[in-house]
């Protein structure tokens, strides 16, 4: 039985032939009239050729191939303009990123939802599937992949629109390679920092995502204001927090005349928790010890 070829059996001339073929395919990327099925096959060939070139050219095993790229960063480029798509994908690959390319918004949305990417670059001009609708669907799903929006105008108003719509950053065209690289790395770096969403205080746990408090694993039925007060004290554990400061946090206003409402909320929290977590510091405020 003939043994199937593995990566170790491939030589560099063969790989370079694949790369040349990939480059030839890139040259016809501006042909928008070809069949969509053929487009997918051509994209697959380009990706395979690029991957083989990295693996064999560097003498690496398949699992090590992406470690030689720009921080092992996998980028999804959603771009419906053929010439810009080709230039951007080439630029990103030359700087060491691994790139998947989506030819339109629907394809990009499907790829983003089905695969894991370190970052997404989005720029669409098509009228029936604009960037705003794609951005909206992405943010309504469970995906929180960092997204860089390419804009046509270098204006704060344009950037504010996209940032408010769910983009993590914006970059105006024409694009400078060093800035694009730096922004992508910054987005990915920020996304990799996991926020501390759980505060544990002995048997008491404050879940900042679920907005819930448990004592010995049993959930405490707090109102929104009661939870906000307890979370605020927990975030400032080890420090005395005045009634005035708590009131300002709860009601977003400065009015000392109603600061005694804080005492009512604290009393309710203590009763519901059945745990002496919050200590009264007479004449000063409240304290949760570290």
Mean pLDDT over residues 181-195, rounded? Answer: 84
Q: What pLDDT score does 94 carry?
A: 86
Percent of the chain residues past pLDDT 90, beyond the cut: 25
Q: What pLDDT score does 258 carry?
A: 67
Mean pLDDT over residues 62-73, rounded? Answer: 45
Q: Per the structure, how many domains does the chain have? A: 2
Say whether 1 sits in a helix, a strand or coil: coil
Same domain, 114 and 160: yes
Same domain, 60 and 22: yes
Residue 65, pLDDT > 70, answer no
Same domain, 158 and 228: no
User: In terms of pLDDT, which residue wins out, 40 or 186?
Assistant: 186
Q: Say which CATH number the domain at 274 has.
A: 1.10.10.10
Residue with tokens 């370190």: 118
Beta strands per DSSP E along 44-190: 74-79, 98-102, 119-123, 147-151, 169-172
Q: What pLDDT score does 68 carry?
A: 40
Provide the sign of the torsion angle of the four alpha carbons 137, 138, 139, 143, taken in this order.
positive
Q: What pLDDT score does 203 carry?
A: 92
Decide if 1 is inside a domain.
no
Residue 269 binned pLDDT confidence (cut-offs 50, 70, 90): very high
For the chain, the average pLDDT equals: 76
Decide if 2 is inside a domain.
no
Strand partners of residue 267: none
Decide if 35 is inside a domain.
yes
How confident is the model over 213-253, as pLDDT tens digits?
999 989 999 999 999 999 999 989 999 999 888 888 887 66
Domain range for 258 is 198-287
Residue 86, pLDDT > 70, answer yes
Q: What pLDDT score does 226 carry?
A: 93
CB neighbourhood size of 104 (10 A): 17
Residue 13, pLDDT > 70, answer no
């Amino acid at each position: 039985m003939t043994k199937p070829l593995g990566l170790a059996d491939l030589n560099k001339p063969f790989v370079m032939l694949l790369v040349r073929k990939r480059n030839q395919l890139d040259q016809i990327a501006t042909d928008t009239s070809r069949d969509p099925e053929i487009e997918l096959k051509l994209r697959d060939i380009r990706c395979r050729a690029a991957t083989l070139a990295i693996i064999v050219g560097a003498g690496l095993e398949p699992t090590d191939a992406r470690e030689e790229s720009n921080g092992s960063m996998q980028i999804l480029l959603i771009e419906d303009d053929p010439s810009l798509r080709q230039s951007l994908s080439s630029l990103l690959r030359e700087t060491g990123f691994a790139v998947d390319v989506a030819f339109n918004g629907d394809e990009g949305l499907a790829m983003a939802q089905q695969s894991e990417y370190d970052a997404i670059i989005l720029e669409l001009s098509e009228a029936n599937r604009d960037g705003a609708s794609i951005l909206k669907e992405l943010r309504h799903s469970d995906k929180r992949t960092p997204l860089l929006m390419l804009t046509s105008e270098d204006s704060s108003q344009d950037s504010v629109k996209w940032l408010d719509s769910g983009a993590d950053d914006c970059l105006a065209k024409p694009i400078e390679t060093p800035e694009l690289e730096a922004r992508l790395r910054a987005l990915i770096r920020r996304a990799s920092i996991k926020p501390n969403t759980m505060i544990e205080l002995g048997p008491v746990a404050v879940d900042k995502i679920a907005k819930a408090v448990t004592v010995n694993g049993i959930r405490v039925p707090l109102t929104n204001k009661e939870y906000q007060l307890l979370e605020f004290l927990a975030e400032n554990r080890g420090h005395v927090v005045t009634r005035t400061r708590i009131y300002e946090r709860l009601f977003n206003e400065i009015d000392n005349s109603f600061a005694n409402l804080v005492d009512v909320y604290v009393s309710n929290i203590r009763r519901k928790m059945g745990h002496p977590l919050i200590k009264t510091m007479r004449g000063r405020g409240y304290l949760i010890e570290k």
